[in-house]
Every structure is written in structure tokens, then in C-alpha cells.
Structure 1
Amino acid sequence: MAHVVVDDPDRSGVLITGGAGVGKSYLARHLVDEHERAGGAARRVYASTFSGELPLGAVAAGFSPSDAYTGVAPTLTIKRALEAEAGPTMILVDDIDQLDDASAAVLVEVADAGLASLVLTARSGARVPPPIERALVAESIVAIECPDLDEAATAELVRVRLGAEVAPATARTVYEVTCGNPLYVRELLEAARSDGMLRAGPTGTELTGIPGASTRLVDLLERRLRSLSPPERDALRYIAVVGPISHGVLLSFVEPELLESLEERGLVSTVLDGRRLMIGTAHPLHGEILRAIESPLGVRTIRSRVAERVVALGMRRGDDRFRLATWSLDGIVAVAPEVLTEATLMAKTANDFELGPRLASAAVDAEPNVANIRNLAHLQYHAGRWDELRATLDDWHAVVDSDRDRAEFEELRVTGWYWHGADDAPLLELAATLDSWPEGEVRDELGASVASLLITHGRITDAVDLAERLRDLPPGVAAVRVAMTLGHGWRSQGKPLAAARLVADALDFYRSFGPDVFALSDSVMAGVRIQALADAGEFAEVDRIVAESADRWSDSGDASNVALAKLAHGWSWYLRGEYDRAEQLAAEAETAFATVHHSGMIRWAIILQALAASQRHDPNDAAKLLSLIDSRPDHPARIFDPYLARARGWVAHRKGFPDDARAAFVAGFDAATDGGSVIAALGCAHDLCRIGRADTAAELLAQLDLTELEGRYPQCQQRHIGAAVDGDVDALTDVVDQFVSLGAPHLAAEAATDAARSPAATARDRRRLLQRAAEVSTGDSGGVDQLAAQVGLTRREHDVVALAALGLTSREAADRLSISRRTVETHLGNAYQKLGVNDRLGLLERLRPST
């Protein structure tokens, strides 16, 4: 089966799973060895506790530093390295539960590109890195279970291990004690042999007792290790504490015959990686036990000795350099400044904002040059360490000596002051003086950054004008910012479909380079696209994107970026009148923004919560949220301030203050038009129509240029205002149908009520229209409660379906309900069967209002 999978050109690889010691590693190595004997290229990636501590640490062990640690785009460089191989490459990764997520993403990417076939192993129930888990779901990687042995196979294994026939009673005892686990069998027999518990009997070798009081593997292994000589144990300590170590380094501390003895005992394994022989513990549990019983001082002493030897040998491998750079932070070893810089770049590339600032700070202390200070500033910014960033920016300014460096300094200074300092003065100053910079690439990149901030500032026209002048930038971070600026800008200007197409094209283009190129965040770009599609009323496409991508976003590692996608999804539910869903997603986004101290984006999330809460009949929750906003410091990211005015208007309306409501909606309209946001202005005008002030809405609408207005949703809003001010029953009836078709039954019910109130409506019209209003407002087939009653969902199935409808992944739903992920998926599967659907997309179709 494994042979078939790895040879299948439509598959990216195979994952061999099973309990500890079932032989999955042996099978994986056998596949790779056969591939090499047939002339194929092979790479071996070491996943260990230590590589997992370093961003892309595992990949570094299988590729040279020049391949894996460019500090910009490891996926591209590794692709190029694999393309240079003479034949198809097979990559072995043992124990992927210790594989860092960044390495996993790179490996899946190159395998999906057809440049390699992955052979992976994992203990049953162990953590599977999210990129590999997604590949398993997509079936590009196939999982094969390597089960424990049955009684007959266990007896045969005992016979082979002992090299003699085995008494039936002994074979049965071994099976009962080990449950058929090959590693348990081996450890039990070795312990029994060491203790003299094996003897010849009339029907074969007999086991006279069980070594030790416990039959658990740890107990057996502990007993076995105690039989080692002190030099053997010391040798094993070095291997366990340091992780996979080269034979050349290890020979500085261990005699060759000791290694041979440990290998004969099955305690260490050797693998030839390129031209270097790597030695590691034969099983992860060996290392775990030895590290657990080693004192902190012992660990430090061993690592210090190994570090000295690696430094003396020149740190030729990438994993050596990064391991030592990390150890240097604890004072174990001193490394050259360039090693710290190299490690900093890798941490930055992998978005490791815990290790990264520590490495960067050490690099600055060792060599305070522009590059190191810049890296530290960027990492502090992304880690939300605002006070530390202020001091670093002062240091950076003192050493800037070129236009390129000055531009990068200005960009981070302006961005830092804007987001973390809530101060727009540096941004506006830079925007006003941008033309004074020399023409060329540096100014264009700086302009792209300015435009991306101006759009969040709510200055839509200025931002779009600047971004449109920069549309021809070459691929890179600046071009991504231009695409995002135009996406938000065109959406705000009433062209949401054009905005969605622009962002979709940009996403497709940059995804072709790999997931980490240009620090492109899939969730950020997708969030802009979702919001544009939602504003256009394309809710089915919104749900499709979320259903396909939610797991990928949640594993991206950047809380604020994932929160932006959730916020956009929440906005789509608000437009559909699903206010509870909108409020919940916005609350989750607020929590995520708070983890990275993004006060401006926290404000956005609270605004959406307040707007959603204000639409419900009890305005008190919304009023509390508005008070929370008022109690917080102001922030220059004001793109959503017109929606804040809308929330205030709805609270006033619900509390019975019509004049205050009108004033709030007009204020929101004025703020939107001042900034150039047609969509936000139209929303304020439509709110006036919805509270019975269609005349005021029409007056405001006359101030907008709607000749290029795109999207069914905004066009329906415009038609609703026009039909309401005219009292046109037929036109309002058409609006009802259009809102129902869009999936906005709450607005359809309001339009039907408007039509029934029209002086032109006959008595028959009024009865028909009020009945229609009741049907669309209460006959919402998208309600989970109603579906549950229709098909007989259990309480738990109802809860799981409700969370899935909110866009939560199975993992998130499991955490919310305090059950396992597998249990969530079981309930989902049962619900799908009752609902007659196959997946989340089908579920969303059932939850969408009928048209």
C-alpha cells in the first residue's frame, strides 16, 4: 500500500501512523532506502524537540543553509534546490509531531509542486502539524495505519528476536504484556535477557518472569538503561540532550566502540545525511526519558561542550548554526554576530515573535548596524512591543545613511506611531512630503505604504488616487499593499465587484510563488475580498471562501490577520440580518486583536458588535458597547466611523428618539462622503429609509454619484429608497423579491411593510404585503433551530451545526464545546446525513434563506 501511494503522481506522499514502536519508522526508512537504491534522490529531515524550537529548524537539517535560510522565501529556494536534483526526490520525516509548522508548510508546498514525495511517520494520536493535516483532508497525503501485531505475529517476532523456538505459554505471556507492540516486545526481551529471565524449556525458550513491576514501556526502558555501563550511559545522554548529532562531533566525547555497542543494543540509530553521519536515539522515548532525568545543570554542561566542538568545526550546517544561536541566548555558547543575524532572519521569516526579538536584540548588542536594528524594530512592531520599539527607532535613526534605509525607517516609524501610538501626524506629514523624495523604486514603495494607511484612515479618495498611480509596481510587498488599498478603496467607492476581482487576481498571482513569499498573508487579502463580495451581496461566494479557507487561516500564526478575515465574515452576516452571528464573530476578532495590542482594530471589532447589537429589539447591549468605545482613546483608523454613527442612530431609534437617530445617520453620511466612501454613505441613507425617513434618504442620495454603482445589494438599497419615497407599491414589491433573492429577508420584510403602508396600496395589497412581510421575517429556513426541528437534530448536533454555520473549524468548535475534535466531526457527519448534505458548503446552502 505504501509503495502504491508514494509512486502515485497525483499524491504528495504518505503518512505512516501507529503506536510507539510498531515499526513505522523502519517501514519509512525501507521505502526511502529502496528509492535510493533505484537511483532516486533522497533527503532526510530531522524533526525533534530541538528543531521544533527553531523556526524552520527541521528543514535546516535536511537542506543546506543557503537552501533553507535566505531569510526571505525558503519555499522558493528549496524548490530550486529540488529542481536541481538528478531525479525524483523523496523526503523522509520521522515523528512529525515534533515538526515545526513552518517546516511542515514548506514541505507540503514543495510536494504539492511535484518536486518531492513525502514519507512521514507519526505516533497514533500525536499532534499533526496543520499544513500536513490539511493535506490529509485533501487526500494529497494518504495516511496508512501500522497496527500492533496479533498474537500469531507477536509469537513469530519473539522467535526471530530470540533466534530459537518459543514455548507457547511464553509467546502468550509476551503478547498479553506488550499487546503486540513490536517495541514493547523488543524491550521486554532485552530486559529479560539482561536479567537472566530466559531459559530453554521442553517446547522452546521460556520466560521465567516479567522484568520490573510495571509493563509500561517507560518502566522497561528505565530498567534497561540502568544496565548500561557509565560510559555507555554518558554517550546516550549526549545524544539525547543534544538531539541528532553528527558522528564527527560526537566522537569528541564518546569512544567509537561505545557507539557500536549502543547501536547493537538498538538504543541509537545512524543515518547518512549527505556526507555526514547523523546519530540519534533509536526511539523518541529514549531521549525523552534521559532528558527528564537529567538535571538542568547537566543539560547545560552537555550543550556547552557540544557547542564548543561545533564552533571549532566551523558550524557548517544550518541546523548547527541556529541551534547554537538559540543556546547562546542562555549563555551556553558565544556565537559570531552574523550567526545571530542569520537566526533573526529565520525567526522573522517564520513569524516567531517570541524567539525573534530575543535573537534580534542579541544581534544588535553584538553588532549595532542598520540591518540588525532594522530586524529588531520589525520584530518588536509585529510582537506589539511598542515601548521597546520607540527606543529601537531612536537607535535606528542614528545610523540611517541611505534613501533606502531612510524610507524603511520612515515606513516603520509612521506605521508604528499610527497603529500603536494612535497618532496620525507622522502619516499625514509623510503623505504631504512624499513628492519631495527622489523618483524611483524607493518612493514608490513608500507611497504604497502611505496609501495602505490612508485607506484605513478613512481618506478613501486620497488613498485610491495614490494607489492607482502605483499599479504597475513589480511583484513584492509594495504591490500587495497597492492591491489591498485598491480593494478597500474601490469597494468603498461603490465598485465592490471590481474590488473583489482585483484582490482575487492578486491572491492567485502571489499564491503561485508559495505561501511565504513577500510576507503575503492569505487571510488579509481574503478578508478584503470577502468584505467586497459581502457589500455586493454575493453571500454564497463569501460562504464558499470561508468554508474552503477557514482552517488555513486559523493555522497561519498571525492572530490579527485571522481576525480581519473573521471581521469581514461577520460583516457579511450583518448585511444578511444574522446579527447574533455577526456579533459573535466580531467579538472573536476583538479578542484576537487584543492579543497583539492592535487598539485601532479592536475599535473596528467593537463597532461591528455595536452595530449588530443595535439592530436587535433591546438596544441596551449596543449602548454598553458604544460606551466602551467612548471610554477608549481615539484612534486614527477611522474607515469604519460611519458605521459607528449608524450604531448610534439605531440605538437612538430603538430607544424612541427619532430626531437623534436622524442626526446620527446624517452625521455618518457626511463622514462617509467626506472620506469618499459611497458604500458607507449609501448605508446611512438606507438606514434613514428603514426608520421611515425615506424623504431625507432621497435628499442625501441625490448628493452621491451612483452612475457606476456595482453589486446587487447596494443597487437594492438604492431602489428601496427610490420606491419608498415614491410610495410605489409595485416597485417596493419588486424590492421585496430582490432582497429575498439576495438572502436578506429582514430587509425584504421591511420593504414589504413599506409597501403596505403606502397610500397607493389597496386593502387587498396591504393584506398581501403584510402576509409577505410575516412570511419572509418568520419563515427563515436558514435558522438552525428550525432546521433542527425539521430533521430531528439532537441537542449536541444542533450546537455543532450552529458553530459550523458561524464558520468555526472543527477544532474551534471542539474547544468551545469542551469535546474532542473527532466527536465534533462525528456529530457533523450525523447532521449532514439528516440534512441530506455532504459537507459544510451543503450545510450553508440549507441554512441560506429560500428564494
Structure 2
Amino acid sequence: MGRWPLVGRGPEIDAFAVALTEPECRGFVVGGPAGVGKSRLAEECLDRAAAAGFRVGRATASAAAGAVPLGAIAHLLPAGVDLSDPVAGFAAVVRGLAAGPGQRRWVLLVDDLHLLDAASAVLLRQLMDAGAILLIGTVRAGEPHGKAVAALRGGDEVSRVDLTVLTAEQTEALLPAVLGGPVDRRTVHELSLASGGNVLYLRELVLGALTAGDLTEDGEIWHLREGRLPGTARLTEVIGARLAAASAGRPVLELLALCEPLPPADAEALAPPRVLAALEEAGLIRVVQDRRRVTVTLAHPLYGEVLRAALPVLRRRTLLLDQAARVEARGARRRGDLLRVATWRLAATGTADPALLVQAAVLARHAHDYHQTVALLTALPEKHHTTTTGLTLGNAFFETGRWDEAEAALAQADARAVDTREKLAVTLVRTTNLLWSNAPLTEALAVNDATLAGITAPADRRKLEINEGFMRIAAGGPVRGLALLEDLETDVGDAADVNVWLRGAWMKPFGLALVGRTGEAAAWAERAHAGHRRVDEHALVSHPAVQRIPLVLALGEAGRLAEALREGERAYAELVAADSVVRVWMAVFLGRVEWLAGHPVTARGWWAEAAALARGIDHVMALRPVLGGLAACAAVLGDLEAAETTLAEYRGLPPLAPGLLSAGEEHLGEAWLLATRGHLGEARALLTAAAGTARGTGHLTGEALLLTDVARLGGAKDAADRLAELAHRCDGALAPARARLAAALADDDPGRLLQAADACQAVGADLLAAEAATAASAAWRRAHASRRASAVAHRAGAALARCEGARTPLLTIGQATEPLTAREHEIALLASAGNASKDIAEILALSVRTVDNHLQRAYAKLGVTTRRELARTFRTVPPGASPHHARRPS
């Protein structure tokens, strides 16, 4: 891997550009701690100086070169200069470097200025003062240096910038540029957290993960294997050398590596205050004060990795047990102390007091640390397991996507249940786990019904009815599910069981959004989120941010697309930080919102992220609609090879009953691939059948989405009436905009098409707006209103510019100097995809002569003479071609 691109340093580059143009400027110094990219920025500045026509040179100061006067810059001195007399010799050097073609000034880069010897520093300062050079220098923060070097950095004529570590956003921008494609957000989060924004550390982590095969691309997106973050030998050496200088404070550093954060008193048990002060000054530890509490941590996450790797087993054991004893001696009063003590004792000895393990597991679960919960409870001896521990363990397995292990733990917990309360609690989690693990709805309902059969109390039976409503909506039956959730309490405080309420309140807005009641859906999602935040510590349900998932669906279908994306991206970051596998559904719905907005590259990125996660946890319910969406995006972007590959994976999935979005929408990929290849009739037939499936299961908003695509692919007359009905049944602004578009396309009325474009643009549906405006322009041309047609075409182009390279059949209408008829358009599309006239005739049940006649008229209107030119015009990819793989910017 060569030199990394420079990301996030725009202001610094701009500052150098100003310095380069100012005759009075003598230097540009880049400061900052080790590894933040000082040298990389300085190199970029030198490259820009060279491109601007300056003469350039470079030198690297070092401890070895610093022992020899002028050792760092000897190679830059003019030949024949006698330095036995420094005053005359330095003056000769100034004259020699000042001379040259056009009297161009030198720009000289010196890395690690703080290591420069005094003679070199004095000479460089003279060259700067004489205007012979503009010095670019890098200086590591906190390093000592002499007066001569200080002179290079001082004065108004020297510009100074100080770099800090990369922010999470800058890391997110850098990694796709380095890897050449989108990177999933968990990987970005892990690498940003581990590197601490240090570019050097980040580079070595990426190189190590690539070398180990832990950072891979699946054809769509880069992702890091769960729990794997290997570095390189160089990274270990760099950090090891930094830590080696703190020999007196090594015991404290080792304890922090195992047990941070620590109160100062615990750190002082291993080293006196003066040593801690030296460690802080050296940038190895950080002392943080939060109100009245003071804690000590390592200054960088990777310091702990290196220290732990070097610890002998017995030394590790001693440190852990001693620290556990210290905390216990204080009474373990602080929140989280029990969890920490249990974790330390478990790591030291492989076991811990059973009661302590159970208490710690409860704390870990309520902190949404599911991996730690599993570690603690799997260490609990079998004889100490209860229904509650089995339920907690099963729930933690579920939250980490380990379905089979969850079912085993939950089955054991069910067998141990001694009363209705315990039986109910196990049933809630077990039925959800069955659904997510690809079991049929009937199997999950059977578990629910078996528990129901043994219960007589109306309140407890009602809890199982709510659970059934949850399951039916999750499995694609919103109408029946909503009927069971109709009387759900509107506030968690009124609920008899917070876990039951949270499940119902999570799924109810999904059902409402799917049947078109988007206003109620959004209100319920907000209510559920607020309630979940209030009772999170007492709930055995996923992270509160999952309650934003149905909100994204509801806002999207209400036509509040920008708001849906803002809310969804914020919640997704929370779910990534919590490492919750439920985030797969947030990625699913964010991809769907971007598809509705007409942004296929961004939608493809979200769906690729969802697909990678769904494959990793074998979650077919999510994978089916995701693969359909991925293929649709690839087709609309002209990447037919990727669309075919994705559909092949989709066809190989095991059969599964419909889920939240698989009642028809999973066929989007097949339909759009057909449309891109020119088979519009087949695409419309497939979409119409899929819309019928959605209608049959009550997915009205899904039906509207599919019928809108039927209208876009030439079936507006067939879809308009039903879309008008759906606009009356579905609230929000999106359904009326869809209906208006279909009606305008059916009537081919340019005025109504422009109104439809306005309606689509108002909700943020850029591609629908572009298509409506393009169709309006074509209609004006047919009416010989060329000025109106040109004005509307310009407007269509502005909308299309936001659509990330999408190409659809409706947009190709605007390519013709004269409008194509529907038949000419269909035949031209088929021909552009590489079909011979004979094949087109068979597909459309026409004679070959009729096909050729239509094709020649289309050629004339489009201004082309060959099928290859036709393909370029329509921007489709002939079979066998290898198209550019469009990618989402991360």
C-alpha cells in the first residue's frame, strides 16, 4: 500500500497556498504529536510547490545526522563551497542557492526539525532571511530543541499549523479513499476507536488486517471480521519504543492496560505521584476530572494492546487479583465495581464467585455489553444456573446473532421455569429468536400458544397476545398484527410488563407505517423511544436506539425523507457503538429511504452494509429484501454483472415466509434488471404481481412503491387508478406525489407532469422529479413547444444531477431530438441491451421487419447509426461487458 491520500487537511493546505504566494513568508512549520500525519502534509505541500514551478529539495533530520554539523543538509549544499570559514562559506551557500533559472526560490522540506544540528539550523535561517528558500518543516510536539532550531520556527514571517488526530468523520472519509471502495460503519468505528485518530497507527492497523485476511471486500463493501484487529510488527515496535522510555512507570502502565480507568490512589499504589506526573507529561497517561471524580487512563487505546501482549501470565494474574482486592477493600461501592471485579477475577483465574458472576452479568446486560454478558454467564457453573440466568444468557446470544446457542440456552431456561412470570419472560425472547433464526412463523406461534395454553389469568394471556401481534407484523402480517396491538397502552408507565410493552411498542409503528398510517406510526415510534430510554435499566430488550428503526420507515413513507435519514444515521451510530446486530434493520430501512430519494449509490452502500451483517449472522429475513435492493441499485447504475451476481445469491436463499419488507419488494432487483435490459413488459408483469402480493398481506406502502415503478416503466395507465386509491388510504405527502406522477404519465400532460415533478421534489424524491420533468419536456416537444421543452429539460437535469448516475427508461426519452413512441422506446431499449432483431421480434410477438422499421425510426430520432451508439445513448451495458462498479461515498 503506497502513500495514503490526504483527507481532512484542507485548511492546512489552504494556509500553505497562502504562504507560498507571500514574498515575505520564510517558513511553514507543521507541528503535532507523533503519527498525526505531519510528514504526509509536508510532502503534499512540497508537491504543490513543485507543481507551481518552485525548485524543491528535502532533508530528514535524525539523531545520527544531528551529531555531525550540517549532516542533515550536506547533500543540498552547492559543490565547491569552502566551509572552513563559516561566515564566508555560509554567504557562498546563500548566493549559490539563490542563483538559478528565473531566480526561482527554493522550497525546502526538513522533516523532524527538532533533531536538526545547530550548524544546519543557523545556515537554514540565513537562507530564509535572504529569501533564498521557503522552509517547510515538521516538529514533534513536546520534543526538546536548541535555540538555533527555535529560531527556524519563530518570527512573524514563519507560518505555523498544529495538527491534531483525525476525527471520526475524517477517518470515515479516509478509509474508502485508501481501500478504493465503501467501508462498513462498524469497521470505521473499530478502526477509529483503536487508532485514536492517529494516522500512523491507523495505517498499520489497516495493513495488518489486510495481511491477516481480516479486512475483506465482498464485492460491494469492505468489512472487518468480528473481534479481529491485528496490527503489524512495525506498529508494535513504534508503540513499544514509546513505552520503553517509561521504565519507572511500567507497573502503572501495565495495571492500566488491564484495569483502566483507575482512581489516582490505585495508580499511586504502584508508583509515586512524581512518576505519574512524568507519565502524564510524556503523553502516556491521561488524567481526567469529571465533576468530583478523577480517573487515570492510558493516553491511547493501542498502548494497552501492546502492554497486554507483553505481559507474562503470572504477572497478569497478580495485577488483576491485587486490583480486585483493592476495589473490594473499599466496599465495591461505585456503579460497575461488581462487574469489573468479576471480570478481573475471571480473567485471572478462569472463575469467580457465582453470585458475583451473576450480579456482574446483570450489569453487563443492562449496559448492552452482550459479549461480556456471555463471557460471565458461560463461566457460571451449571448448578448455579436459574431461569433468570438462562434467559439473560439466551438474550445475550440473541443480541450477538448466535441463534442456535440462544435457542439452547432459552430451552433450558424454559425447562427450569417454575411459574407463569418466568415462563412468559422466556417465551418472549425465545419466539423472537426463532423468527430471526429463519424458523417459520408457525414454529414461533406454536411456542407462544403452548405457553398460552397453560395460563388462565387474563392479564398474562394479554401479554402473549401482544407477543403474537409483534410476531405477525415482524413476519409480514401487519393487519392481523395491528389488530392484536390495537389496545396497547400508550405509555410504558401504565404497562403491567415493560418488556412486553416495549416489544409491542417497537413493532406497532412498523405495522402502522406498512398500512399507510404514517403519522400514527411516527408518533408511536417517538413514544416507544422515549419510554425505552426511561426504563432501559429494567428492560430485557435491545438498545433504545432500535426504536428509531420504525421511525425511519414511517418518516420515509410520509415523504419526510431528509428527516428520516438524519434520524436513522444518528441512531445507527449508537447501534454500532453498542455492537447490536439489530442495526441490520436500520441499514435496511436507510437503504430503502435512499432508494425512495433516487440515490442508488448511497442506497447500495447501506444495503451492502446490511447484507454483510445479515450474512454474518445468517439472517435471511433481512437478506432477502436487501439483495433485491442491491440488485436494483446495480441495474439502475448500469452494473449488470453485479446485479446478476446478487440475484444469483438471492435465488440460492432458502425459502422463507414474507417478512417486514419481503412481501413483494424483494423482486425489485429482478424487475429493474429486466427493465435495464429492455424487457419492460416482463418487468411490469413482475412488479404488478409483486404489488398484488404486497396488497394481499396489507403492505399498502410497499404496494404503492411497486406500482409506482410499474408506472415508471410504461404501465402508468394500469397503475394510476390503484395509486389514486392508495393516496386516499395512506397519509403523508409521498403517496399523493406517487399518484400524481402516475396520473400525469398516463395522460401524457406536460403541465400535470410538471406539477408531479414539484410534488416529488417537495418530498425529496429526486429521481422521480427528474423523470417527471424529463417526461414533461418530451411532451412539450411533441406539442412543438421547443422553448418550454428546453426550459423543463434544464430543470430535469438539475434534479438528475442529485441522482448519482441513475439511468432509467423514462430518462432516456429526453435523449431524442424527436420523441420516441412507446413501441420505439421499448424496441430501442431491447436493442441497446444487445438483443438481435429476431430475438426482439420473438419477445414482443412482432415480425422482424416491423422491429427493424421501428428501430430505424428510433435511430433517426436519437441521432445514432449503430447498436453500439444506441447502447451508449441509453447507458446500458451489453452482455459480457465489465462495467464500472459504482460505489457509495462513505
Tell me the TM-score normalized by structure 2.
0.54
Choose 424-433 or 633-642, whichever is displaced more. Answer: 424-433
Structure 1 position 638 matched with structure 2 position 638? no
Going from structure 1 to structure 2, the CA distance change for 1:327 and 1:129 (only over 3 Å counts) comes to farther
For 1:709, which of 727, 730, 733 is the aligned residue? Answer: 730
Going from structure 1 to structure 2, the CA distance change for 1:780 and 1:516 (only over 3 Å counts) comes to farther
Q: Report the alpha carbon displacement of residue 451 of structure 1 after superposing the two structures with TM.
A: 2.3
Structure 1 position 538 matched with structure 2 position 569? no
Going from structure 1 to structure 2, the CA distance change for 1:395 and 1:530 (only over 3 Å counts) comes to closer
Aligned equivalents of 1:247, 1:376: Cα separation in 2 = 35
Partner of 1:621: 642
RMSD of equivalent CA atoms: 4.8
For 2:548, which of 523, 526, 533 is the aligned residue? Answer: 526
Structure 1 position 740 matched with structure 2 position 761? yes
Equivalent position SS for 1:764: coil
State the AA in 2 paired with 1:359. Answer: L
Q: Determine if contact 1:615/1:650 at 8 Å carries over to the other structure.
A: yes
Structure 1 position 401 matched with structure 2 position 421? no
Going from structure 1 to structure 2, the CA distance change for 1:770 and 1:265 (only over 3 Å counts) comes to closer
Q: Determine if contact 1:723/1:731 at 8 Å carries over to the other structure.
A: yes
Q: Determine if contact 2:346/2:352 at 8 Å carries over to the other structure.
A: no
Equivalent position SS for 1:354: helix
Structure 1 position 442 matched with structure 2 position 460? yes
Equivalent position SS for 2:370: coil
Q: Report the alpha carbon displacement of residue 522 of structure 1 after superposing the two structures with TM.
A: 4.5
Structure 1 position 647 matched with structure 2 position 669? yes
Partner of 2:144: none
What number of residue pairs does the alignment pair up?
A: 559
Choose 369-378 or 603-612, whichever is displaced more. Answer: 603-612
Choose 336-345 or 470-479, whichever is displaced more. Answer: 470-479
State the AA in 1 paired with 2:730. Answer: L
Equivalent position SS for 1:384: coil
Choose 413-422 or 336-345, whichever is displaced more. Answer: 413-422
Q: Determine if contact 1:488/1:532 at 8 Å carries over to the other structure.
A: yes
- What do residues 359-391 of structure 1 show as CA deviations (whole Å, max 9, x unaligned)? 112225250221121111111111222332233
Aligned equivalents of 1:126, 1:748: Cα separation in 2 = 38
For 1:682, which of 704, 715, 727 is the aligned residue? Answer: 704
Structure 1 position 558 matched with structure 2 position 579? yes
**How do 1:358-757 and structure 2 match up within 5 A?**
358-429=375-446, 437-472=455-490, 474-475=492-493, 476-511=498-533, 519=541, 521-545=543-567, 549=570, 552-553=573-574, 556-617=577-638, 619-636=640-657, 638-641=659-662, 642-698=664-720, 700-701=722-723, 706-752=727-773, 754=775
Partner of 2:15: none
Going from structure 1 to structure 2, the CA distance change for 1:783 and 1:299 (only over 3 Å counts) comes to same
Q: Report the alpha carbon displacement of residue 590 of structure 1 after superposing the two structures with TM.
A: 2.1
Q: Report the alpha carbon displacement of residue 599 of structure 1 after superposing the two structures with TM.
A: 3.3
- What do residues 227-266 of structure 1 show as CA deviations (whole Å, max 9, x unaligned)? xxxxxx999999998779999999xxxxxxx979956887
Equivalent position SS for 1:688: helix
Going from structure 1 to structure 2, the CA distance change for 1:330 and 1:288 (only over 3 Å counts) comes to closer
Going from structure 1 to structure 2, the CA distance change for 1:320 and 1:19 (only over 3 Å counts) comes to farther
Q: Report the alpha carbon displacement of residue 490 of structure 1 after superposing the two structures with TM.
A: 1.8
**How do 1:100-499 and structure 2 match up within 5 A?**
221-222=246-247, 262=272, 295-301=312-318, 303-304=320-321, 321-330=338-347, 332=349, 335-429=352-446, 437-472=455-490, 474-475=492-493, 476-499=498-521
Q: Report the alpha carbon displacement of residue 310 of structure 1 after superposing the two structures with TM.
A: 7.8
Q: Report the alpha carbon displacement of residue 699 of structure 1 after superposing the two structures with TM.
A: 6.0
State the AA in 2 paired with 1:456. Answer: A
Equivalent position SS for 1:542: helix
Going from structure 1 to structure 2, the CA distance change for 1:293 and 1:503 (only over 3 Å counts) comes to closer
State the AA in 2 paired with 1:716. Answer: A
Q: Report the alpha carbon displacement of residue 566 of structure 1 after superposing the two structures with TM.
A: 3.3
Q: Determine if contact 1:281/1:287 at 8 Å carries over to the other structure.
A: no
State the AA in 1 paired with 2:427. Answer: E
Going from structure 1 to structure 2, the CA distance change for 1:712 and 1:669 (only over 3 Å counts) comes to same
Partner of 1:41: none
Q: Determine if contact 2:543/2:580 at 8 Å carries over to the other structure.
A: no
Partner of 1:7: none
Q: Determine if contact 2:516/2:729 at 8 Å carries over to the other structure.
A: yes
State the AA in 2 paired with 1:390. Answer: E
- What do residues 751-770 of structure 1 show as CA deviations (whole Å, max 9, x unaligned)? 35555777x99623587347
Q: Determine if contact 1:745/1:776 at 8 Å carries over to the other structure.
A: no
Aligned equivalents of 2:705, 2:790: Cα separation in 1 = 25
Aligned equivalents of 1:785, 1:616: Cα separation in 2 = 6
Aligned equivalents of 1:656, 1:374: Cα separation in 2 = 54
Structure 1 position 764 matched with structure 2 position 781? no
Q: Report the alpha carbon displacement of residue 268 of structure 1 after superposing the two structures with TM.
A: 12
Equivalent position SS for 2:439: coil
Aligned equivalents of 1:652, 1:784: Cα separation in 2 = 21
**How do 1:818-837 and structure 2 match up within 5 A?**
none
Q: Report the alpha carbon displacement of residue 469 of structure 1 after superposing the two structures with TM.
A: 2.4
Q: Report the alpha carbon displacement of residue 620 of structure 1 after superposing the two structures with TM.
A: 4.1
Q: Report the alpha carbon displacement of residue 528 of structure 1 after superposing the two structures with TM.
A: 1.8
**How do 1:771-810 and structure 2 match up within 5 A?**
772-773=792-793, 775-777=795-797, 780=800, 782=802
Structure 2: which 5+ runs fail to align? 1-31, 35-163, 171-240, 280-286, 807-890
Choose 632-641 or 762-771, whichever is displaced more. Answer: 762-771
Q: Report the alpha carbon displacement of residue 341 of structure 1 after superposing the two structures with TM.
A: 0.5
Q: Report the alpha carbon displacement of residue 672 of structure 1 after superposing the two structures with TM.
A: 0.5
Aligned equivalents of 1:603, 1:782: Cα separation in 2 = 28
Q: Determine if contact 1:570/1:586 at 8 Å carries over to the other structure.
A: yes
Q: Determine if contact 1:746/1:776 at 8 Å carries over to the other structure.
A: no
Q: Report the alpha carbon displacement of residue 587 of structure 1 after superposing the two structures with TM.
A: 0.9
State the AA in 1 paired with 2:467. Answer: S
Partner of 1:80: none
Q: Report the alpha carbon displacement of residue 579 of structure 1 after superposing the two structures with TM.
A: 1.1
Q: Determine if contact 2:630/2:643 at 8 Å carries over to the other structure.
A: yes
State the AA in 1 paired with 2:417. Answer: V
Going from structure 1 to structure 2, the CA distance change for 1:508 and 1:718 (only over 3 Å counts) comes to same
Q: Determine if contact 2:441/2:471 at 8 Å carries over to the other structure.
A: no
State the AA in 1 paired with 2:742. Answer: I
Q: Report the alpha carbon displacement of residue 750 of structure 1 after superposing the two structures with TM.
A: 3.3
Structure 1: which 5+ runs fail to align? 1-17, 21-123, 131-215, 226-232, 251-257, 787-851
Tell me the TM-score normalized by structure 1.
0.56
Equivalent position SS for 1:452: helix
Aligned equivalents of 2:553, 2:790: Cα separation in 1 = 32
